[in-house]
Structure 1
Amino acid sequence: MGPTAAGKTALAIELCRQLNTEIISVDSALVYNGMDIGTAKPDQEELTQAPHHLINLIDPRESYSVADFRKDAIACIDRLHSQGKIPVLVGGTMMYFKGLIDGLSPLPEASSIVREELEQQAAQIGWPALHAQLMEVDPQAAQKISENDSQRINRALEVYRITGKPMSLLQKEKQPPLPYDFYQFAIVPSDRKILHERIEKRFKIMLEQGFKNEVLALYNRKDLHPDLPSIRCVGYRQMWDYLAGEYDYDEMVFRGIAATRQLAKRQLTWLRSWPEVTWLETGEQENLQRILSSLS
C-alpha cells in the first residue's frame, strides 16, 4: 500500500518475478472500463509480466462499493490459494484495505427506490434540510457529514429508512476476521518533495499519452455526469471541468496536480495510523529483499 505515484506497481511486478503470485488491485479507479490513462492502469506488457485482478470490472456509469470489493477480493484470494499462489494486494484505496482486513458493518445494500425518494426530496427542500433530518435520527453520523455532502447524507438516511436503525449503530458491528495472515507493507518516499515531483511528472506524461481524448470520450456520452464516482476520480474531474469550459488548460493542469497531491496526503494520513505495517522507503531492490525476507 502507499500513496499515488510512490512506485507500488513496479515493486509488485518485481515481486511477481520472484514468487509464484498474481496481483489483486486495491484501487477504486482501476475498476472502470475505458479509464486507463488517468488511472495509470497497467499496460499489456505489465499484465503479461504480472496478471492483475479486479481491474476493468464495470462501466463508468456504475458504482462499486467497499462491500463489492471485499466479496470479489476474497474470491480472488481463495482462488489463488487453491492454485498454490501467494496473492499480492496492491493499491492506494485505503478504505478497501480496511474493509477487507477489518471487516464491514452489516449495512443493507443500496435501494434504488429509497435513493430516488431522497433525491426527489433533496430537489424540493435541499440537502441541508435532509442533513437536519439525519441529525434527528442519527446525530452521531450527521456530525461527521457536511450538510452539502449529498452522497453520504443519502446513504445514511437510506440505511435508517431501510433498517429503522442509525447507521452509526450498525457500523459498530463487524464481520468475523478472515482466516489469512496479512503481511502489510507501505512504500512511501522519505522526502515529500520527491513524491510531489513524481506526481507532477506522471500527470504530465498522462497528458502526453492522450488523457484529454480519454476523458472527452466519457464527456461525450449522454449517460455520464460529474457527480458519478467515476468522474469524481482525481484528474478526471479536473479534465471534465476543463472540457465544460469552467477554466483554461493551464488551470486544469494545476488543479489536476494539486488534487493528486491532496489524494496522496489523505493516503499518508491513513497510513500513519495503520497498525502492523512495515515501512519501505529505500530503493526497489532493497524493498524487494525486505519483503522476501519477511515472508521466509
Structure 2
Amino acid sequence: MQYSTPLPFAIFLMGPTASGKSQIALDIADNFPVEIISVDSAQVYRHLDIGTAKPEPATLIRVPHHLINLIDPDQHYSAAQFRSDALNIMHEITLRNKIPLLVGGTMLYYRALQDGLSILPSADKNLRLMLENMAKELGWPAMHQKLEELDQETAARIKPTDSQRIQRALEVCYLTQQPMSEILKIPRQTNFPYRKISIALIPSNRSQLHLRIAERFEAMLSHGLIDEVQSIRKRFSLSLESPSMRCVGYRQTCLYLDNKINSTELHDMGVAATRQLAKRQLTWLRSMKTDEVKEFDCLTSDLTAQVQHFLHAAIEKCTF
C-alpha cells in the first residue's frame, strides 16, 4: 500500500476489558493489511495465558501479533520499554507495507506511545526491596503517609492501599530528592511519526458490560485459571507484590491458593476487580480528545461492519 501522506497510518483500537477488542481486531485483519501490536501490560508475561485472555496459538499463527510473551512472571516491564518496543515494531511493520494495529486496554501505554514519558529514574532493585521491607513492618497506609510528607500532590491521587503506585512515588522521591509531581510537570519531548486513526469501543449500557465481565471471569475459572496460577508459582519465586501477580484475576487467585479467601470470594473479588479495571479504562477514554477518537457502541450487533466501514472511509480520505 502506498501512502500519499508523508506519515504512515497507525490504528488504535481501545476500550475497556470485555468490550470485544480482540475479535474486532481479528475482523479488521481479515479485511486490511495489518499486523497486531498488543497494548496489554499483562499479556507481556509468558505463562499468564488464561487470566489475560491471550490469543490462542492458532490465532497467533494466522495473524501476526507482537509484544506478547516477552518476559517471565518474575521480571519487570515498563511503559518506557513498551514505547521503545512498539515504535521499533511499528517501523518494521510499515516497511512491510502494512499498518500497525495497536489493540488493548492499558491506557498508560497508549499515552506513553503518543506523548512520551517524563524523565523519571529507572527502578532501583535495592531501594524497592527496602521499601517493601518497610511496608511489611509498617503497612502501606503508613507508607502513604510518608509519601504525603514528601509529595502531597502525588499522595492525594493515590489510595493508601495502592502499594505499587506508593512504592514507585517514594522510589522517585528518594532517587531524585524531589517530588514526582514536580518532575511530571516538565515538558516532554515526543515524536510519534504516524497518522493515527483512533477507535474506542464504549458500552452504551454499563450493566451489560458487567454481565460480560462476570461471564468472562467465570470462563477463565472453568478453563483452569487456578491451575495456571498454581503452576506459575511453582516455577517462579513470586509474591502478591510481584507485578505479574498484581494483574486482575491473578492476585485474587493467589489469595485463594493461600487460603485467605474461599471459592465464592475468589469469584466475587475477581469480578469486582475486573469491573474496577473497566471503570478506570473508561475514565481514561473519556479524558481523551473526543474529536480525535471515533467511538462505537461495543454492544451493537453490527459492530464489525460499522468499524470496517469507518476504517475504509478514513483511510481512503487520508490517502487520496
TM-score (norm 2): 0.86
Gaps of 5+ in 2: 1-13
Determine if contact 1:127/1:147 at 8 Å carries over to the other structure: yes
Determine if contact 1:13/1:49 at 8 Å carries over to the other structure: no
Aligned letter for 2:93?
L
Aligned equivalents of 1:121, 1:210: Cα separation in 2: 35
Determine if contact 1:212/1:239 at 8 Å carries over to the other structure: yes
Residues 235-289 of structure 1, C-alpha deviations (whole Å, 9 max, x = no match): 1122221121122222212221222122112211111121121001242222222
| Residue number among 213, 226, 230 corresponding to 1:212 in the alignment | 226
> Any residues of structure 2 matched to 1:257-272 within 5 Å, and which?
257-272=271-286
User: What's the counterpart of residue 228 of structure 1?
Assistant: 242
> Any residues of structure 2 matched to 1:94-243 within 5 Å, and which?
94-123=107-136, 127-173=140-186, 174-221=188-235, 223-243=237-257
Determine if contact 2:128/2:171 at 8 Å carries over to the other structure: yes
Change beyond 3 A, Cα 1:12–1:250 = same
Determine if contact 1:11/1:288 at 8 Å carries over to the other structure: no
Question: 1:130: Cα distance to partner?
Answer: 4.3
Change beyond 3 A, Cα 1:213–1:125 = closer
Residues 68-107 of structure 1, C-alpha deviations (whole Å, 9 max, x = no match): 1111111111111122111000001111111111111011
Deviates more, 1:169-178 or 1:57-66: 169-178
Q: Residue 289 in 1 paired to residue 309 in 2?
A: yes
The list of structure 1 runs, each at least 4 consecutive aligned residues, that deviate by more than 6 angstroms after superposition, is none
| Residue number among 14, 26, 29 corresponding to 2:27 in the alignment | 14
> Any residues of structure 2 matched to 1:44-59 within 5 Å, and which?
44-59=57-72
Higher relative contact order (CA 8 A, sep 6+): 2
Residues 172-210 of structure 1, C-alpha deviations (whole Å, 9 max, x = no match): 221223122211100123222321222222222222222
Aligned equivalents of 2:264, 2:105: Cα separation in 1: 27
Determine if contact 2:35/2:64 at 8 Å carries over to the other structure: yes
Deviates more, 1:246-255 or 1:80-89: 246-255
Tell me the SS of whatever aligns to 1:230. helix
Aligned letter for 1:277?
V
Q: Residue 32 in 1 paired to residue 45 in 2?
A: yes
Aligned equivalents of 2:281, 2:98: Cα separation in 1: 28
Question: 1:292: Cα distance to partner?
Answer: 2.3
Determine if contact 1:30/1:56 at 8 Å carries over to the other structure: yes
Aligned equivalents of 1:192, 1:153: Cα separation in 2: 30
Residues 205-232 of structure 1, C-alpha deviations (whole Å, 9 max, x = no match): 2222222211111233460111112111
Q: Residue 85 in 1 paired to residue 98 in 2?
A: yes
State the Cα RMSD in Å. Answer: 1.9
Aligned equivalents of 1:236, 1:146: Cα separation in 2: 21
Tell me the SS of whatever aligns to 1:183. strand
Tell me the SS of whatever aligns to 1:182. strand
Aligned equivalents of 2:30, 2:236: Cα separation in 1: 43
| Residue number among 43, 61, 86 corresponding to 1:73 in the alignment | 86
Give the length in aligned residue pairs: 296
Aligned equivalents of 1:145, 1:69: Cα separation in 2: 23
Residues 134-155 of structure 1, C-alpha deviations (whole Å, 9 max, x = no match): 3343222222233443332332
Determine if contact 2:164/2:241 at 8 Å carries over to the other structure: no
Aligned equivalents of 2:160, 2:273: Cα separation in 1: 22
Aligned equivalents of 1:289, 1:45: Cα separation in 2: 27
Change beyond 3 A, Cα 1:237–1:133 = closer
| Residue number among 274, 278, 281 corresponding to 2:294 in the alignment | 278
Equivalent pairs: percent with the same residue?
48
Aligned letter for 1:216?
Q
TM-score (norm 1): 0.92
Gaps of 5+ in 1: none
Determine if contact 1:22/1:85 at 8 Å carries over to the other structure: yes
Tell me the SS of whatever aligns to 2:246. coil
Deviates more, 1:70-79 or 1:248-257: 248-257
Deviates more, 1:122-131 or 1:138-147: 122-131
Residues 95-125 of structure 1, C-alpha deviations (whole Å, 9 max, x = no match): 1111111111011111123323333444555
